[in-house]
Amino acid sequence: MADGTHIEWTDATWNPITGCSVVSPGCTNCYAMKLAGTRLKHTASRNGLTSPSKAGPVWNGEVRLNEEWLRQPLEWKRPRMIFVCAHGDLFAENVPDEWIDRVFAVMAVASRHTFQVLTKRPDRMLAYLSNQPLARRRWENIIQGELGRHTISPPVILPNVWAGVSAEDQSRADERIPLLLQTPAAVRWISIEPMLGGIDLLKATGGTLWMGGQRGCGGTHRHNGQQGEVIHDRLHETDPTLPHHHHDERCGKGIDWVVLGGESGPKARPMHPSWAQSIRDQCQQADVPFFFKQWGAWKPVPWKLDRDKDETDAEYVERSERECSTFAISQSGYLIEMDHKPWSWARVLPAPASHHSVKQVGKKAAGRLLDGIVHDAFPKIERTV
């Protein structure tokens, strides 16, 4: 836990609960999992949370409540954004509801802060937050008892808590985002990190458009009438007795914020630039704030360099080796290594249409410019001090 962090989209991390389990491909190179099984494995907050494997330490499902950190946000006076359970998952399978209640009670009292909750278990988050009146009573009991704040009565939906899900590819997006959109929350957001494949956020899985003109609408509008009739001032070109969208104020909120990043670390998987560009364009189309966190360990590089007029063979080879790569990633996410150098005659032909050259240079060198621009938009909020 730290008051200050290198994570670009937040101000601080808070780890009242640590520990997790592997549930999808995005977990493979989890930095928190590796730390818990190496440098931090003898600390009280991490000891016993991972098991050794041929691939390195792996979460074993054990979780831990860190009492000494639970009230930390109450001590931070300056309002800030706080990433909740950066080294775990608040809604992990083995986390008791009683622990979650205590975390939410602290978040309710520390209303000057904005808490960014991120989970890979939207089903449990939905179940927990859907029973708001009961949960609110439990929070209130903790606030007035354990925390000793007798004048605070939390609202049903905490305005300073953002509910988010991780979705590294289309399969996980299809699985998790519809559940997120059903979750009662002031702000709903998604983290596409590490991005492992292209994702369509403007789709309507389950009859629900995730972003755009009918954001969050469940398609439950029905009317008596026939195709071609004007009902409620709208021409119905399809059968009005079937579920349909009105594209108006009756359509609820959808995704409020999108964070995207490539994977970092020595075993990182590269990200095709078109995947990130597509998400940026979809967010712009739907007027949803977009935050590009990083390229990660790999960055896109030119397929072949144009040779300068006065450049010697040795200079051209050296510059090509430095700025280009023998690796390329396909639209489907496969990394290939070509059997020729970037300066060779074989590069006379253009790059394959579905592939883009990428080079492993490390997170810092790769940077966070997408087509030369920093994208660091946030949802517009008003903090309570």
Of the chain, the percentage scoring pLDDT greater than 70 comes to: 92
pLDDT at 14 over 80: yes
pLDDT at 81 over 60: yes
The encoded tokens of residue 72 equal: 């930390």
The domain spans of the chain are 12-216+252-297, 299-360
pLDDT-based confidence at residue 206 (cuts at 50, 70, 90): very low
- The 10s digit of each residue's pLDDT in 36-59 is 999 999 999 999 999 999 999 999
Between 212-226, 252-266, 341-355, the lowest mean confidence (pLDDT) is in 212-226
pLDDT tens-digit map of 63-76: 999 999 999 999 99
Average pLDDT, the chain: 91
How far apart, in Å, are the Cα atoms of 338 and each of 266, 313, 333, 362? 20, 21, 16, 21
Overall average pLDDT of the 132-151 stretch: 92
Q: Is the pLDDT of residue 245 over 80?
A: no
- Rounded to the nearest 10°, the torsion over CA 254, 195, 172, 85 is -80
d(CA 29, CA 231): 53
pLDDT band at 207 (very low <50, low <70, confident <90, very high): very low
**What Rg, from alpha-carbon coordinates, does the chain have?**
24
In whole angstroms, what is the distance from residue 297 CA to residue 265 CA? 6
If you average pLDDT over residues 295-320, what whole number do you get? Answer: 95
What value does the mean pLDDT take over residues 78-86? 98
pLDDT interval class at 141 (50, 70, 90)? very high
- pTM for this one? 0.90
pLDDT digits (tens, 9 = 90+) for 167-204: 999 999 999 998 998 899 999 999 999 999 999 997 65
Per-residue confidence (pLDDT) for residue 208, from 0 to 100? 52
Question: What is the tally of helices (H) and strands (E) in the chain?
Answer: 10, 19
* Higher-scoring residue by pLDDT: 235, 95: 95
